[in-house]
Chains A and B, each alone.
With several copies, the nearest count.
Chain A
């Protein structure tokens, strides 16, 4: 039998080297980790510095590209409460539109998967809706839904739902045949096949769609504010632009980007929280 422990000396030597290795590589690891943590910020700050220098040294006029300093300046010229009003208006519409489009897209995708007939008839309609510029149907929407949140949410939905439908249907169709056979061999009701096999299998696809949709939801809210609004960041940006307050418009853009990043990250967090298995494993 060879189940003999290694000789003591041999046991110590590698352990020591093992330890020292751990410490050395630990420090390295730590640096690497910190690097990863701060890299985005460092990158962001250098980008800002670059931007500022281009504007200053290149004498770039403000109406083409305002410098970060002028944007910050413009930022503080608007009162905090006004910012909050605009922010909330946009965030509200974007989130509502996003949620409504999830509520529409998932059942729609299921229907499209389950019926070849629906697939062939409804899908083209979806493509048409997706490619219709909102401005062209703005009068229709406003006459039907008024100039309130309802129209804006509808417009956001129209812009947001498509990536979700495409990725959900793709994901559900990609479900391995074996898992479908498992379900068939149980003669389970179709809705359970859908909910317990196809949908979980499609989760990575769905979240890929959600990531695209959430950023489109912001765009949708902004476009909706172009169509009808008294407040909101999109309104604010367009308004500032039309009065040539370009730094102020860019200050609005900064807010918009911040919400986008936050919501985009949130989608990831939700996936990591609810469906940790659906994320690729880190080595």
Chain B
């Protein structure tokens, strides 16, 4: 794989100038995904509690943004709003200046639960979005599916049914399914949570390779701070419920990144900063 390409990922430059999101907002017309004072309340009663609120965030084209925050702070909600699966009750999400008012078809989603179709084999599950969207799958697609399944260590399980897989395997199938779509926007909700350290790291780097070769905008929810730092261009740190933006951190580590980067000082600084946010009193009641 062409390692040098990774530096040309367009997002990196953009991010560098983007220290203060609030003041820069008006001057970043090329924001790809834009959230303006976004908030959501699931309760239909007028004064129901907000799940998330006051989210202002611009994600640039081909940027890799990670989201960390306490459980129940509204990360999945945010992701569903970007996907158009949920229309925010406050504010607006827009993509390329067009407000998101219905489910988008240029997103690939890795849901928090695997959400596999129990009646399809692993391979068919993985090809399902393509079949479902376009009505057919090409030989090419099938080959790529095989490649991705091999990459994630599932090659020998291609013909099994989902309930014959372990939890982590099901999660990997969900990841492959989203990657195969090769979408403009990739939304991943704790995709690696059921994976062991090694698999997690491997698939993380595989994801970076894919992202480099087929640039896309990524919104990546995780509970692993080091994973967020290792993978992302910027990291959105959210406060406890109702979730708001606590910090937006530029990672600024050179790409391509390797496991060795985890020993760099910048890496440790960043993880410490985020850890500090999370363990800070105001982040939890």
Cα separation A11 to B39 with both chains bound (whole Å): 13
B119 touches A277 (CB 8 A): yes
Complex interface bits, A66-107 against B, C-beta within 8 A gives 1, otherwise 0: 000000000000000000000000000000000000000000
Question: Is the CB of B104 closer than 8 A to any CB of chain A?
Answer: yes
Q: Contacting chain A: which of B109-117, B190-198, B263-271?
A: B109-117
Give A195's nearest chain B residue, CB to CB. B132
Known: A178-B113, A179-B117, A183-B132. A5 touches B103 (CB 8 A): no
Q: Which residues of A contact B21 (CB under 8 A)?
A: 2
| Chain A CB within 8 A of B131 CB | yes
Minimum CB–CB distance from B112 to chain A (whole Å) comes to 9
A178 contacts B115, CB within 8 Å? yes
* Partner pick for B245 among A2, A178, A181, CB 8 A cutoff: A2
**On chain A, which size bracket covers the interface?**
20 to 34
Provide the residues of chain A in CB contact with B239, threshold 8 Å.
3
CB-based contact B54/A185 at 8 Å: no
Instruction: Decide: B105 and A4 in contact? CB cutoff 8 A.
Output: no
Q: A178-B111, A188-B132 are in contact. Are A2 and B56 (CB under 8 A)?
A: yes
Give the chain B neighbours of A184 by CB distance below 8 A.
Answer: 84-85, 103
Residues of A within 8 A of B84 (CB): 184-185
Closest to B90 in A: A18
**Within residues 187 to 226 of chain A, which ones have a CB less than 8 A from any CB in chain B?**
187-188, 192-193, 196-197, 200, 203
Is the CB of A6 closer than 8 A to any CB of chain B? yes
Interchain nearest-CB distance for B34 vs A (Å): 12
Complex interface: chain B residues within 8 A of A14 (CB) = 36-37, 91-92
Task: Judge whether A231 is part of the interface by a CB distance below 8 angstroms.
Answer: no
Q: Which of B83, B117, B245 contacts A200 (CB 8 A)?
A: B117
Query: Bound complex: CA of A186 vs CA of B128, how far in Å?
Result: 10
Instruction: Say whether chain A's binding surface is mostly helix, strand, loop, or mixed.
Output: helix
**Contact among A5, A181, A186 with B54 in the assembled complex (CB-CB below 8 Å):** A5
A3 touches B119 (CB 8 A): no
Q: What are the interface flags for B87-114 relative to A under an 8 Å C-beta threshold, 1 for contact and 0 otherwise?
A: 0000110000000000111011101010
A4 touches B103 (CB 8 A): no
Number of B residues whose C-beta is below 8 Å from A? 40
Select from chain A the residue with minimum beta-carbon distance to B134. A188
Whether B107 and A185, one on each chain, are in contact in the complex, defined by CB atoms closer than 8 angstroms, is yes
Q: Are B131 and A187 touching (Cβ within 8 A)?
A: no
> For the complex, what is the distance from the CA of A275 to the CA of B105, rounded to whole Å?
30
User: Does residue A10 face the partner (Cβ distance < 8 Å to B)?
Assistant: yes
B118 interface contact, C-beta 8 A: yes
Contact in complex: A188, B133 (CB < 8 Å): yes
Would you call A1 an interface residue if the criterion is a C-beta within 8 Å of the partner chain's C-beta atoms? Answer: yes
Q: Does B253 contact A (CB under 8 A)?
A: no
Q: A6-B37, A14-B36 given as contacts; is B133 within 8 A of A200 (CB)?
A: no
Considering only residues 52-102 of chain B, those with a C-beta below 8 Å from chain A are 54, 56-57, 80, 83-85, 91-92
Is B203 part of the binding interface, using a Cβ–Cβ cutoff of 8 Å? no
Q: Measured between C-beta atoms, what is the minimum distance from B27 to chain A in Å? A: 13
Query: Is B158 an interface position by the 8 A CB rule?
Result: no
Is B247's beta carbon under 8 Å from chain A? yes
B248 contacts the other chain (CB 8 A): yes
* Binary contact readout B14-39 vs A (1 if CB under 8 angstroms, 0 otherwise): 00000011100000000000001100
With a cutoff of 8 Å between Cβ atoms, the chain A residues found around residue B131 in the complex are 196
- B129 contacts the other chain (Cβ, under 8 Å)? yes
Contact across chains for B37 and A185 when beta carbons are under 8 A apart: no
B interface footprint on A160-196 (CB within 8 Å = 1, 0 otherwise): 0000000000000000001101111111100011001
C-beta contact mask, A263-283 vs B, less than 8 Å → 1, else 0? Answer: 000000000000101100000
Q: Are B103 and A185 in contact, CB atoms less than 8 angstroms apart?
A: yes
Nearest CB of A to B90, in Å: 8
Chain A nearest CB from B104 CB (Å) reads 7
Bound: A183/B177 CA distance, A? 13
- Please tell me if the beta carbons of B129 and A186 are within 8 angstroms of each other in the complex: yes
Q: Given A185-B85, A187-B104, A200-B119, verify A6-B111 contact (CB < 8 Å).
A: no
Write out the residue numbers on chain A whose beta carbons fall within 8 Å of the beta carbon of B83.
185
Instruction: For A203, give the chain B residue with the smallest CB separation.
Output: B119
Q: How far is the CB of A206 from chain B (nearest CB, A)?
A: 13
Q: Is the CB of B109 within 8 A of A182?
A: yes
Asked if B22 and A4 make an inter-chain contact with CB atoms under 8 angstroms apart, the answer reads: yes
Q: Is there an interface contact between A2 and B22, defined as CB atoms closer than 8 Å?
A: yes
Q: A-B pairs with the 3 shortest C-beta distances?
A: A187-B105, A184-B103, A4-B22
A-B contact list, 6 entries, CB within 8 Å:
A1-B247, A2-B22, A2-B57, A179-B117, A181-B103, A277-B161
Q: A6-B56, A187-B104 are in contact. List 12 more A-B contacts (CB 8 A).
A: A2-B57, A2-B248, A181-B85, A181-B111, A183-B132, A185-B103, A187-B103, A187-B105, A188-B132, A193-B132, A197-B117, A275-B119
Contact residues of B with A, CB < 8 Å? Answer: 20-22, 36-37, 54, 56-57, 80, 83-85, 91-92, 103-105, 107-109, 111, 113, 115, 117-119, 128-129, 131-133, 135, 161, 181, 239, 244-248
